[in-house]
Structure 1
Amino acid sequence: MANRTGTYVAFDGLGEADPTKSDFKYYATLQAWSASKNIQFSLINCHEKTYAVRDTSKRATLYARIQERLRASKNMLVILTSKTRYTGSVLSYEIEQAIDTYKIPLIIACPEFSSILYVDSHSEIWPKVLKDCINDTGIEAIHIPFAKVCILDAITRFYVNGEHLSSGKSYYNLETQTKWGLIQ
């Protein structure tokens, strides 16, 4: 097994060639946080560890690169929005592989929520593959808003050889989210 040091970032490209029309903008935010000298945020991104796969790549090549990246990943940050497709996106394949093949903890970040205290509150944006396995024994997932403090804490704590999550419906408690300023 490869050295698992990176965070695999997954989102739905929504079939768009223009990244401003898809959830790519949230990935770009992560890159900006990581690049900023004024922000204490460091992201080791598995997408940068293997050579790029273009949208025009054949599906077999794309899936091979995804598997290569997942093998090097300690966890997966999944960005979900109201635009995320229920089925038919590469995101569904990425989630399925992370859970079934690589046993990687999922950090499910939702930009449209300022806090998450009730995991089912955003279940309508879960892709089918996630919805089908979220209650399975053994899946580890934490549901968080897309906030730097949450993301940084989660990626540094919940990973293959790190702290384990109790279920597929874990979240930060009220006290923690209040301390972070997510809840007033």
Structure 2
Amino acid sequence: MAYSDPTYVIFDGDEDAWAYRFMKGWNASENVSFEFANAHDLDNMTSRAQDEDYVKRNLRNRMNGSSQVLVLIGEKTKNLFRFVRWEMELALDLDLPIIAANLNGSRQQDASCPPIIRDKCVVHVPFKMKAIKHALANWPSEFHRLSNAQRGDGARSYGESTYRDLGL
């Protein structure tokens, strides 16, 4: 199933770019059933962009055109403030569904979770293709069906039966 609604991916570009490249590889492979519309592919922002205001303006435009956000949570993600924390804060402000993919394999919120999204209505999954695919297909509609009171109930995760059904 193709996800035609753009997904905005947040990650530590220095430490966790490998995971982002994995996802792009899954997406590009004809032999793998994983497709997503990558919001970062919509507008080519030069890597030479050094002006923080310019970068944030372009990232804001990309996120405004996105339907959900995927945060790749690595070991140092919670310590990043300049862009990564700002992006997560923007996603919360825009009321976008957020999927947190734990690079350490955790199926739920753990100590690696950045404080800005800790105990928020964010679904946490392991960095596994099938788990991410399931969350992309289901979490946005699940999130939008929740009332504001239900969204205040904190972090979410999928149960063992979901992972069993996914073969994980």
Would you say same fold, with TM above 0.5? yes
Deviation at 1:53, TM superposition (A): 4.1
Deviations, residues 18-67 of structure 1 (Å, cap 9, x unaligned): xxxx2000000000000000011111000011121425420001110111
CA contact (8 A) 2:49 2:55 kept: no
Work out which of the residue numbers 4, 16, 19 in structure 2 matches 1:23: 16
Distance 2:85 2:98 in 1: 13
Say whether 1:75 aligns with 2:68: yes
Q: What is the deviation of 1:87?
A: 4.1
Aligned position for 1:106: 98
Whole-Å separation in 2 of the counterparts to 1:110 and 1:87: 16
Structure 1 letter corresponding to 2:72: I
Is 1:163 aligned with 2:142? Answer: yes
How much has 1:176 moved relative to structure 2?
1.2
Compared CA separation, residues 48 and 180, structure 1 to 2 (3 A):
same
- CA–CA separation in structure 2 for the residues paired with 1:53 and 1:156: 31
**SS of the counterpart of 1:98?**
helix
Are the counterparts in 2 of residues 53 and 62 from structure 1 also a CA contact under 8 Å? no
Q: How does 1:122-161 map to 2 (within 5 A)?
A: 122=110, 124-131=111-118, 134-135=119-120, 140-159=121-140
Q: What RMSD over aligned residues (CA atoms) do the two structures have, in Å?
A: 1.9
The list of structure 1 runs, each at least 4 consecutive aligned residues, that deviate by more than 6 angstroms after superposition, is none
Q: Measured at CA, do residues 177 and 11 of structure 1 come closer, stay the same or move farther in structure 2, by a change above 3 Å?
A: same
Give the gaps of 5 or more residues in structure 2: none
Q: Structure 1: any 5+ residue segments left out of the alignment?
A: 17-21
What percentage of residue pairs aligned between the two structures are identical? 27
Q: How many residues align?
A: 158
Q: Report the AA paired with residue 40 of structure 1.
A: S
